[in-house]
Structure 1
Amino acid sequence: MNGTTPPARLTTPFGAESTAAEVVAGVDLTGRRVVVTGGASGIGVETARALASAGAELTLAVRDLAAGARTAADITATTGAKQVHVAHLDLADQSSVADFVTAWDGPLDILVNNAGVMASPELRTPEGWELQFATNHLGHFALTTGLHEALARSGAARVVAVSSSAHHRSPVVFEDIHFRERPYEPWSAYGQSKTANVLFAVEAAERWARDGISVNALMPGGIRTNLQRYVSDEELARLRAQAAGGTELRWKSPEEGAATSVLLAASPLVAGVSGRYFEDCNEAVRGVLGARTGVAEYALDPEAAARLWQVSEDTLATRD
């Protein structure tokens, strides 16, 4: 991401209505080891299913082990995959993240940072961190950096950060990330955490290129899943109408919502691509923001990305 001229925008034959199965068709992931966080619900299930169907050894990293076991059994039944594992991971609990990292053995080829929380009421971790930032960014930051050695051992690892067009709502407000001084607002907090996901991809791509690790972020699309458990149907309808300017925004199916994650995780079409933000299976247009389209310039700012990395390291160090 160095220099002033961004690379040419990358496009693929796939689009908004492509499914994860279509994107992964013909891809062979035999012998590749994959972790999907939040792999027991929403688009995480379909992301995991598609990658397992291509032959990957899959680990579902989940808070609810019973739900993970049900999902693993379903994936095995529908794909014939034999190597589907379940491991506990609570991204809001740094001890849980550390336990997952410690337990991991051997190389890791694909890490899909899919789990998240959206528009929650004001909640905090025991450290006093705002929950959405702590879960969506700090948890995944600790997980991914903790697994760096395993990713480097792959030789050609991919990390996928599931962000959102909600990053349009807020940059990372470095002066008050955890809403200690400003009034808490759920959507601003969510938007800030999703901007952090993109900035993580920008900085990790820069730092880890020499290790052969590609890191990209994405907007999966509007999908009705358990992610919106804190958001009422009325609130969702209001937000959708506001964003669309009176036009109808289409919901994606979970299979369609998982397609861009699977593209970045497995497709040869994006081999070697890193530090970018995708939507609808194509790189987003930079700086031109629609209701659900485009990536904000502040989310790709290398200086903000480097600053966030340092702030994240410093924040995690305070609990040691």
Structure 2
Amino acid sequence: MTTNNPITTSFAHTSTAMDVIRGVDLVRRRAIVTGGSSGIGVETARALASAGAEVTLAVRNPDAGQQAADDITGTTGNDRVMVAPLDLADQGSIADFVANWDGPLHILVNNAGIMAAPLSRTPQGWEMQFATNHLGHFALATGLRPALASGDGGRIVSVSSAAHLRSPVVFDDIQYDKREYEPWQAYGQSKTANVLFAVEASRLWADDGITANSLMPGAIRTNLQRYVSEEELDRLRAGNAAAWKTVEQGAATSVLVAASPLLDGVGGRYFEDCQEAAPAQPGGRTGVADYALDPEAAERLWKVSTALLKS
């Protein structure tokens, strides 16, 4: 980690991924984008490819992934856009992906996720949002650590959300075995876990030259909201209509964290609107919660996650 001086940039709420990547050279760099076949994932991948990176779209649906890869190649001229199957709710799928990865990795964008889903569980009994949004990416990143360590300043991009303000990680009942399930609260818990992961990964893997940062992409209408009713979306839009972004704008902060020279050696921080976020204020919808950056909670979550994957 670097000093605590906040990272500021010339970009803002309306900046696009292509604005952020302009002038950045990623030739000879290799990137993975989970959920790269749609939404902000495909636009993140497109921006990285436009800067010359080799990009692998890690997706549940390889056919949709191939369509996205062909589209990215068509718009960027970069034919080094690959597709690989990955189901973050399936630990076997993650293990296969890791086993099949060969060579160094420079950028891992943990982008895929599910939002506000009805209660469901993995075969291990894990609550599905926590399992997919956090544990799946945790297993992927830890499995790819050697590749990131050999990547000369490997970066991990942990896509979180302002929804982390809805809930800390409730260690006494992460899996909703005892408390009543509430979809948005469960989503918030998983997004807090994304921030805490970046904090602890940056601490533990500093000697490997690996940094991890988290971010809020913004409010964007994508497949992520497939479990959210139109009525609920209308209510959310009415509450803060100006905050909604296009997918190209929504991918901007991910691309900043993935590729900006301003973040060389910087880890364990949370960004929104292409700036390092300020502390959240009570009742506010922006900023980062203290509990999401708490190093003790980050260390505890790492240990809990490691134990769950071994069980």
Amino acid at match of 1:225: T
C-alpha distance in structure 2 between counterparts of 1:121 and 1:238, whole Å? 19
SS in 1 for 2:148: helix
Amino acid at match of 2:268: G
C-alpha distance in structure 2 between counterparts of 1:312 and 1:205, whole Å? 16
Residue 147 in 1 paired to residue 144 in 2?
yes
Structure 1 unaligned blocks of 5 or more? none
Residue 187 in 1 paired to residue 180 in 2?
no
- Structure 2 counterpart of 1:251: 244
TM-score by length of 2: 0.98
Contact residue 7 and residue 262 of structure 2 kept, 8 A: no
C-alpha distance in structure 1 between counterparts of 2:41 and 2:283, whole Å? 25
- Structure 1 counterpart of 2:126: 129
Contact residue 221 and residue 279 of structure 1 kept, 8 A: yes
Q: CA deviation at 1:269?
A: 1.6
- Structure 2 counterpart of 1:266: 259
C-alpha distance in structure 2 between counterparts of 1:136 and 1:289, whole Å? 25
C-alpha distance in structure 2 between counterparts of 1:225 and 1:150, whole Å? 31
C-alpha distance in structure 2 between counterparts of 1:26 and 1:179, whole Å? 46
Amino acid at match of 1:202: V
Amino acid at match of 1:24: I
Find 2:288's aligned residue among 287, 295, 298.
295
Structure 2 unaligned blocks of 5 or more? none
Distance 1:130 1:55, change over 3 A: same
Matches within 5 A, 1:272-283: 272-283=265-276
Q: CA deviation at 1:248?
A: 3.2
Contact residue 221 and residue 292 of structure 1 kept, 8 A: no
- Structure 1 counterpart of 2:76: 79
Q: How many residues align?
A: 311
- Structure 2 counterpart of 1:176: 173
What do the CA deviations read for 1:155-187 (whole angstroms, capped 9, x no partner)?
211100000000000000000000000011000
Amino acid at match of 2:171: F
Q: What percentage of aligned pairs have identical amino acids?
A: 68
SS in 2 for 1:229: helix
Amino acid at match of 1:267: S
SS in 2 for 1:136: helix
What do the CA deviations read for 1:97-144 (whole angstroms, capped 9, x no partner)?
000000001100000000000000001111110000000000000000
SS in 2 for 1:286: coil
The 10-residue stretch of structure 1 (33-42 or 249-258) with the greater mean CA deviation from structure 2: 249-258
C-alpha distance in structure 1 between counterparts of 2:117 and 2:12, whole Å? 30
Runs of 4+ with deviation above 2 angstroms: 237-241, 247-250, 287-292
Find 2:32's aligned residue among 31, 35, 46.
35
Q: CA deviation at 1:233?
A: 1.2
Q: CA deviation at 1:239?
A: 3.5
Q: CA deviation at 1:287?
A: 3.5
SS in 2 for 1:304: helix
Find 2:107's aligned residue among 81, 105, 110.
110
Contact residue 32 and residue 58 of structure 2 kept, 8 A: yes
Structural RMSD (CA): 1.3
- Structure 1 counterpart of 2:305: 312
